[in-house]
Structure 1
Amino acid sequence: MFGMGFFEIFMIIIVAVIFLGPDKLPQAMVDLAKFFKALKKTLDDAKSSLDKELNLEELKKEALEYKSSLTQGLDELNRSSNSLFDDAPKAKPSQEIQEALNAQSLEDKDKTMQETPKSPKIQPTQNIQEISYKSKDT
Structure 2
Amino acid sequence: MARLLAIDYGMKRTGIAITDEFQIIASGLTTIASETAIDFLADYFTKEKVEKVIIGKPLQMNGQPSESAAVIEKFVLLFQKRFPDMPVARVDERFTSKMAFQTMIDSGLKKKQRQNKALVDEIAATIMLQGYMAGN
TM range (shorter): under 0.3
Larger RCO: 1 or 2 (CA < 8 Å, sep 6+): 2
Q: Hey, which of these two has a bigger chunk of helix by percent?
A: 1
Taking structure 1 as the reference length, the TM-score comes to 0.20
Q: Choose 1 or 2 for highest CA Rg.
A: 1
Taking structure 2 as the reference length, the TM-score comes to 0.20
